[in-house]
A and B are shown apart, each in its own frame.
Chain A
Amino acid sequence: MMQKTIDRLLIFLSIFLIWELCTHTFSVLDPFLFPSPEKVAQLLVEDSEVFRKSITSSIYLLTAGLLLALLTAIPLGLLVGWQRRLHQAVEPLTNLLGPIPPIVYIPYTIALLPTFTLSSIFVIFIGAFWPLFINTVAGVQAVEKGLIDSARTLGVSRWTMLTRVLLPGAFPHILSGGSISLVLAFILLTAAEMIGATSGLGWYVKYFSDFADYPRVVAGILVIGIVVLFLMTVYRQVSSYLLRWRTSG
C-alpha cells in the first residue's frame, strides 16, 4: 500500500521534472507550443472562473444526455432482453444502428434541432444509449435460469420480475456498459462543444487553439483530464456499491 503510493508519486514527480527541465530550465522545447508547468499553473488560477463556468456547462450537457440514455436504455433493454420475440424483432435494427459512430450525427443534429444545447444533448444521448441498451439486453439474458425459476415459483408479478430480479441480475453488465457510455458521452460532449458551443471544456480548448494560445490549450486539456478522472472515480464507487453483493464470497 505504502509502496504503491511512493511509486505513483515517483512517476508523477519524474514526469513533472522532465517537463520542467525541458521547458523552464533549459528551454529545449519551443515555449510557444510547450508551456512550462509554472505557466500552466498560473493559467489554471487566472482562468479559474472560466473553467468553473465551462465545467458547469459541460456537466449540464453530459448529465442531461446521460440521464436521458439511462431512463430509456435500461427499461427498453430489460423488456427486449426479457421478451424473446421482441428481441428477435429488434435485433437487426440494433445491429444496424448500434455500430454507427455517434460523432457522425453531430452535423445533422445541429441542422435538425433548434439549439446547440439540444443537439449536443441528443448526440450524447445517442452515444450513451447503445452501450447501455446492448449491455442491459445481454445482462438480462445472462441472468441464471435457476434464479428466474426461483422467482417464478415465488409467484412474482411481471413488474417484480423486471425490477427486483432481472434488473439487479443484469447490473454487472449494465454497469460495465455504463462506463463505456460515460467515456463515449464525454468524447461526444467535447467534440460537440468544439464544433458549435460558446462555452464548455471542449469550447475552451478549441477557442484558444484558434488564437494559437497553446498554454491555455494545455491547461484546458489538463482540466478535462481531471474532470474525467473525477467522474470515473465517482462512477466506480457507485458501481462497487451497487455490486457489493458480488465482491465477497
Chain B
Amino acid sequence: MEALLQLEAVSLAYGNNASNRLVLSDVTVDVKEGEFITVVGPSGCGKSSTIGLLAGLLTPTSGTIRLQGTPITRPGPDRAVVFQDYSLFPWMTALENIHFALQQVRKATREEALQYLHLVGLSEAKDKYPGELSGGMRQRVAIARAFAVDAPVYLMDEPFGAVDAKNRIYLQDLLLRLWKTGEHSKTIFLVTHDIDEALYLGDRIIIFTPSPGRIRRIVEVSFTRPRTRAYLVHDPAYIQLRNEILSLLQDDLIGELELVEGGTGI
C-alpha cells in the first residue's frame, strides 16, 4: 500500500544564506493512510516545524513532502491543524469559530456547528469568546473545530498540553473515537511531550533528536486496540517500551548537556 504522507530527506533551516539555523535535518518517513503517528522529542527538536511543513505553512529547505503523491506547497482543507495555541479567533465565539471553519469547506448551519461543540462537552459555552474560556476549554473548541472540517489528515501540535489531566484522558479517548468513526479513515500526526500519551495513542512513535531534529528512531507500538489504560500501565511490554523511549530521550538530553559543558567550559 502506498504511503499517504511521504517525507523524503526533508531539511529545514531558518534564516537566509550563511547564518542558517538548521532545525530539521534529513527527515525521511512514510505515513500510511489511517495511521496514528505520534512524535516525541526534546524541546527545540523541530517537532512543531514538522507540523508547519506538513500543514504547508513552511517550505522545506531541501527534500520533498508529498500528500497522496502530490507535493505539499500550501495549506489546504485536506489537512486540519490543531495548534498549541492561537488556533481560535478571539473575536468569534466558540460556536462562531467552529461555524466559520465549517463554512470554509461547505455550507453549514449553526446547529451543525453546535453538534461538534457538544461532542467536546462545551455546548453551554457556545456564546463565550475564547478570552472567556480556560486554556483547556479553548483547546477543546480547537479540537472540535478540527473535527468539524472532517479532513483526511490531522496535524496536532501538543493539542492537550494545556488541558488538565481529567480532560486530557477524556479528549484522548474522544480523539481515538473520532479517528476510528467517520466515513473515511483519518490519518493523524500528533506531536506531544508526554511519552504515555504517545504510547497510548500511537501506532508508531517517531523519536526526534535535539536540534537539529533528526529521526532518532521509529518505534512500533503493537498493543491491540482498543487499549485500556489500566491494563497497559501494568503490561511489562509497555513498561519496557516506555523505559526504552525514556532512555533514548535521556541519552540525547545528556549528550546535549555535555556539548554545552564542553563548549562553554563550565
Contacts and interface: CB of A to CB of B under 8 A. Distances in A.
Interface of A: 144, 146-147, 149-156, 160, 164-165, 168-169, 171, 244-246, 248-249
Contacts of A246: 90, 131
Interface in B85-129: 85-92, 100-101, 104-105, 129
Contacts of B89: 147, 150-151, 164-165, 168-169
Contact of A153 (B79, B100, B133): B79
Interface in B111-168: 129-133, 149
The prevalent SS among residues of A at the interface is helix
Chain B interface main SS type: loop
B153 to A, nearest CB: 11
Contacts, number: 70
Interface of B: 52, 55-57, 74-77, 79-81, 83, 85-92, 100-101, 104-105, 129-133, 149
Of A150, A153, A156, A165, the most chain B CB neighbours within 10 A belong to A153
A214 B103 CA distance: 63
B57 A153 contact: yes
Contacts of B105: 155
28 contacts: A146-B83, A147-B86, A147-B90, A149-B52, A149-B75, A149-B86, A150-B81, A150-B83, A152-B57, A153-B56, A153-B81, A154-B75, A154-B100, A154-B101, A155-B75, A160-B104, A164-B89, A168-B89, A169-B91, A171-B91, A244-B129, A245-B90, A245-B130, A245-B131, A248-B129, A248-B131, A249-B129, A249-B130
Contact of A150 (B74, B79, B86, B133): B86
Contacts of A160: 104
A248 B100 contact: no
Nearest to B89: A147
Given A165-B89, A168-B91, A155 B129 contact: no
Given A150-B87, A152-B74, A155-B76, 12 more contacts: A146-B83, A146-B85, A146-B86, A152-B56, A152-B57, A153-B81, A154-B75, A154-B104, A155-B105, A246-B131, A249-B131, A249-B133
Contacts of A171: 91
B82 to A, nearest CB: 9
A151 B100 CA distance: 10
A153 B132 CA distance: 24
A144 B130 CA distance: 15
